[in-house]
Amino acid sequence: MSITADISETATATGFSREGVEAVSRARLDTGAARDARLRAWELYESLPMPQRTDEEWRRTDLRGLKLDRLRPYAALDGSGVSPVRALEAAGVEDAAAQIALGPNAGVVVQRDAGTILATLDPDAAAQGVIFTDLATAYREHPELVERWFMTQAVPASFGKFEALHAAFWQGGSFLYVPKGVTIEAPFRAFSLISEPGAAIFSHTLAVVEEGAQAFMADAFRSPSLEGQSFASAVVELIVEPDAKLRYVQVQDWGRNVWNFMTERATLAQDATLNSLHVALGSKFSKASIGSHLRGKNTLAEMLGIYFADGDQFFDHHTWQLHESPYGTSDLEFKGALKGNARSVYSGLIKVFEGAQKTDAYQQNRNLVLSRTARADSIPNLEIAANDVRCTHGATVSQVEEEHLFYLQTRGVPRSEAQNLIVEGFFRPIIDRVPVEEVQEFLRTAIARKVGI
Amino acid sequence: MSDGNSNGTTPMFEIENLHAEIDGKEILKGVDLTVNQGEIHALMGPNGSGKSTLAYVVAGDPRYEVTEGSIRFQGEDILEWSPDERARKGLFLAFQYPTVIPGVSMANFLRLAVTNVRTARAEEIAAEGGSAQPFTPREFRRLMREKMALLKMDDAFATRYLNEGFSGGEKKRAEILQMALLEPKMAVLDETDSGLDIDALKVVSEGVNNLSGPKVGMLLITHYQRLLNFIKPDFVHIMHDGRIVESGGPELAHELEAKGYEGLRARTAEAAAS
């Protein structure tokens, strides 16, 4: 379990400050180097301007509703003594006991607010040198490993305003390390939960899959809808070393009071493979930046996304397929459905660097709008500095066709069920591309529930 | 032609003075047609005469507006019913151009459809000594395989997406498969023969013949006599410009084959003039 010091001095303070950073650092029992890194990040945060709507990536994003000064920088850091099953159930996770069992899972980390409730690892995996635990513990126990990758290669603190804030205040999160040549089939599963209203949560995922190794990691962000604004800042760093394979699945199903900011970058070394899936269902506001650096030769990045917004949800996804070396393949497919007054923005960039010949990049974004008052925008982009490449992209925004509903209805299926079938069918090609029965089942249920809301 | 009330009971399916329009343009201009249990009717007529419109209107296509007249099924006016209500009561339309719906597998869709229809008819099924308990996925697969074998359809169809990548003939077989699973009381088959080669036509016709019987009424819409060599109608109707202009027995189809619509029209006009 995590070791924590007295945090009462600032536990009720709101807003972000240098004193807040120092308090988090003391509470986390940071090493001197870790503390210095936080303070440097804080200075960076202060020096960077708040994103403006004149910035391309923020052009369609309205941050006026976000009240940073009213947030508490962290909630309880001590999660010991809390029942993980009950905490998961309170956050809306079904079948919680099975979700955190070892056997079907290779390891589980459950964190609520900033406190670790559960951290387990299959003994066989541990015997092969695998590390999977909460990030703060990993930092203390394996500083050389964590420091090598933590916000150095994939998402440096200098990435942007919110990433700098994250680097100053990060508390929760998990660390996965799979040594050279080790293959673990079962998923490593991490849950980030929020139980306290008005809290800011900084969850950091760092997964390192060494040469020739293979792993599957699943991140879940869950919380009930609470009174008052919550703020979630997540950074995900996926390091896929030569000839390694990583499958990464992320489900964002925060309560409707959460403003979610997520930045993810994967780095792929030569012959590496990444298969990622991002599912966005919850939160009030979500801005996700998801990118893959195809750094080595002959890499493959499959990036899939499903989002489904209803009510007054706003989802904003930016994707980056960064081809930095020759013979890279990236295959991106993001699909979204919208109902109620929901709004979504997708913008994606395929960037082929000079010399990245024989790149094969594909990008597709399709949106299904289920109500008159919902709106989806899709902005695909290409930037190509090599001459022997194949890049394809496409974007569509469409509605459920009356003709389809009528056909299904003539077979006795009520209109609402027909709509559900069509929406599920719309997402089906992506669901079929994730060959994990449990993930498929979860998605089917989640989509049906969303259609029924 | 059938006069419906010969046995003293309400006709199963009765269209009276039906007028319907699309985008303000009147297509059906007063259709009268009665189909009793166990009867097979053929509706023929040139392109644009309103045959397919009639099929869509019977099924409840929201694109069409009924401006006058009525459609009664088992004595009840169905015009206010949604398309799915009509289907659950036992009406079926085999589409001329079945819709492609990506991502929806035949098996999942049909199980949902069959469950809906059988649940709605639970009382009836119980009265016949059956059970409307929904099929388990396994039971349903078995039933579906059975029906597919009759229509010489490959098992792989069950897992394919609805009509996606189906050839013309495959789509038509899939329509008849749906009919076989839903067991309608009144079926309208819109140009089920179009686009079929002779072998496929035999298989599909055999499928339709297996589904006909003393309790089922059928309306076959067809442009050509060819289908009627395989499915024997009791009555034949000719439609022209939104109305049924002539009705008769199977011999009417043969006459049509010999004279063509033009010839028949000339004869009808003569008869009207004299």
β strands within A269-359, DSSP E: 273-280, 285-294, 300-309, 314-323, 329-338, 343-352
Q: Does A117 reside within a domain?
A: yes
Q: Which of A169-183, A193-207, A229-243 has the lowest mean pLDDT?
A: A193-207
The radius of gyration computed from the CA coordinates of chain A, to the nearest angstrom, equals 21
Q: Do A411 and B88 touch (CB under 8 A)?
A: no
Domain final position from A262, A296, A330: A296
pLDDT at A8: 43
- Do A167 and A37 belong together in one domain? yes
Instruction: Give the residue-averaged pLDDT of A185-204.
Output: 93
Smallest Cβ–Cβ distance between A425 and the set B86, B103, B117 belongs to: B103
Assess whether pLDDT exceeds 60 at residue A1: no
Rounded to whole angstroms, the Cα distance separating B83 from A414 reads 8
Domain encompassing residue A418:
402-453
ipTM comes to 0.94
- Do A104 and A243 belong together in one domain? yes
Structure tokens at A118: 């559960």
Q: Does A336 reside within a domain?
A: no
pLDDT digits (tens, 9 = 90+) for A151-161: 999 999 999 99
- The domain tally of chain A equals 2
Rounded to whole angstroms, the Cα distance separating B115 from A195 reads 41
Is residue A247 a contact partner of residue A184, using CB atoms and an 8 Å limit? no
Rounded to whole angstroms, the Cα distance separating B263 from A396 reads 51
- Do A418 and A289 belong together in one domain? no
pLDDT at A52: 84
- Which amino acid belongs to residue A161? K
The distance in angstroms from the start CA to the end CA of chain B is: 22
Rounded to whole angstroms, the Cα distance separating B79 from B72 reads 8
Q: How far is B153 from chain A (nearest CA, A)?
A: 20
Smallest Cβ–Cβ distance between A411 and the set B62, B87, B102 belongs to: B87
Q: Does A349 reside within a domain?
A: no
- Do A418 and A291 belong together in one domain? no
Is residue A198 a contact partner of residue A72, using CB atoms and an 8 Å limit? yes
Contacts of B61 in chain A (CB under 8 A): 406
Using DSSP, state whether B78 is helix, strand or coil: coil
pLDDT at A13: 67
- Do A143 and A279 belong together in one domain? yes
pLDDT at A10: 44
Q: Do B103 and A412 touch (CB under 8 A)?
A: no
Rounded to whole angstroms, the Cα distance separating A168 from A163 reads 9
Q: Are strands A314-323 and A285-294 parallel, antiparallel or unpaired?
A: parallel
Assess whether pLDDT exceeds 70 at residue B147: yes
Contacts of B84 in chain A (CB under 8 A): 409-415, 418
Assess whether pLDDT exceeds 80 at residue B273: no
Instruction: Give the residue-averaged pLDDT of B88-107.
Output: 94
Q: Do B101 and A426 touch (CB under 8 A)?
A: no
pLDDT at A272: 98
Using DSSP, state whether A374 is helix, strand or coil: coil
Rounded to whole angstroms, the Cα distance separating B93 from A221 reads 47
pLDDT at A64: 83
What are the beta bridge partners of residue A319? A290, A348
pLDDT at A404: 95
Q: How far is A11 from chain B (nearest CA, A)?
A: 50
Q: Domain ranges in chain B? A: 5-103+184-273
pLDDT digits (tens, 9 = 90+) for B11-41: 999 999 999 999 999 999 999 999 999 999 9
Q: Does A133 reside within a domain?
A: yes
pLDDT digits (tens, 9 = 90+) for A293-346: 999 999 999 999 999 999 999 999 999 999 999 999 999 999 999 999 999 999
Percent above pLDDT 90 for chain A = 74
Residue B195 — very low, low, confident or very high, per pLDDT cuts 50/70/90?
Answer: confident
Q: What is the DSSP letter of A102?
A: B
Domain final position from A247, A280, A296: A296
Structure tokens at A449: 């529930």
Domain final position from A271, A296, A321: A296
Instruction: Give the residue-averaged pLDDT of B88-104.
Output: 94
Q: Do B87 and A406 touch (CB under 8 A)?
A: no
User: What CATH fold (topology level) applies to the domain B5-103+184-273?
Assistant: Rossmann fold (3.40.50)
Contacts of A428 in chain B (CB under 8 A): 102-104, 161
pLDDT digits (tens, 9 = 90+) for A411-432: 999 998 999 899 999 999 999 9
